[in-house]
Chains A and B, each alone.
Chain A
Amino acid sequence: MIAYNKAKEEAEALRQLQVLELVTTKSTNVPYFKDKLKEHNISSLKPVGLDVFQVNVGKMCNQTCRHCHVNAGPDRQEIMTKETMQLCLNAIQKFNIPIVDLTGGAPELNPHFRWFVKACHALGKRIIVRCNLTILLEADEHNDLPDFFAENGVEVVSSLPFYDATRTDKVRGKGVFETSIKALKMLNARGYGKPDSGLLLDLVYNPAGAFLPASQTMLETEFKEHLWSEHGIVFNKLFALTNLPVSRFLNYLVNTDNYVSYMEELVNAFNPLAAENVMCRNMISVSWDGYLFDCDFNQMLNMKVAADERNHVANFDLDYLLKREVKVSQHCYGCTAGAGSSCGGEIVLL
């Protein structure tokens, strides 16, 4: 176990922000994200509402994917406590926020995960769990997760980098594709992804390297064809996500000398329509220790929504949050490239 070291984590977030700032000096083709917005007459990103309450319940994960922006892994100790979860429930209930989106790490590894999901279900919320699939087979205690998800009306959103083992395993580790296929079959057997079952199973594609995703529609068609013909697997929708230059993926870009050209590619593909519809305008993201952020990426960069106590879920102030200005940096280009990218995939139809 690696002991949690707050100062070290904060220093690392600051270092990443500096790397993001620095790119503007390394290429004349990468202006500050804020300036790019202004070029398109967008003075700042302001919320349009608050429908999604995303909770990162901890950084512990059974995998260590190469693109992971959370830098998650089996050694991470940052796990949300039941008390913080209760504070989340209070805010969700008090302000009647309709969607609860659970992420991590592997959210299922939080010891209070099931308690929290049940509580959200009791409040009648739409619940999304970002499940990495392999967790279902990680230990016997997780094998009944498909039943648990179904009983609580959970929508399962699962990452699968590709429909073959070569690319998937390159991103997520050896043998992950095979285990993911087994897990998908378990979910299908419980009705997930089947037409008319009412149980939603969506997949997330993200590029296995320093390139942008192809069209979501094309990828969805191919994923559906391959997973069905080669494995008899069905799912509902595929979301194509862009890898954002944060954490492990940022380090990969820098170490492989792909950083500047990747950023240039993101800037080249800047789409003002996607910029106007970025997901942070309708969500709030809560970290394992209860701090509030515009999104999970800003969380990793320690860009809290406020400098005062309103930056914690214990002091959830909806009025303030709805009037805030979203904190941006160069990583935001990942959300505005091409058709855009959000936790729900492409943002605009091209």
Chain B
Amino acid sequence: MDELEQTILDYVIDEYIEDGEEIGVESPLISAGIVDSFSMVSLKTFLERRYKISIPDDKASPEAFDNVKSIAQVVRDILG
């Protein structure tokens, strides 16, 4: 796990996880009902503020945001 993935994982745990459930970088988030399309906005906004980027809506699809690994990839792609 690199630093980017760690940062995102920490945020996800803090922001969405209740009653101490354990998750890793490949745990499904949206398809498992941990994050939904409504609460996902805070994750997207966090990434945009933290990395000073803008994530277009087509890049923030439920598939791309389904686990920490692929979210990190979206950020990497935009950062170039």
Is B a genuine binding partner of A?
no
A interface residues, Cβ below 8 angstroms from B:
none
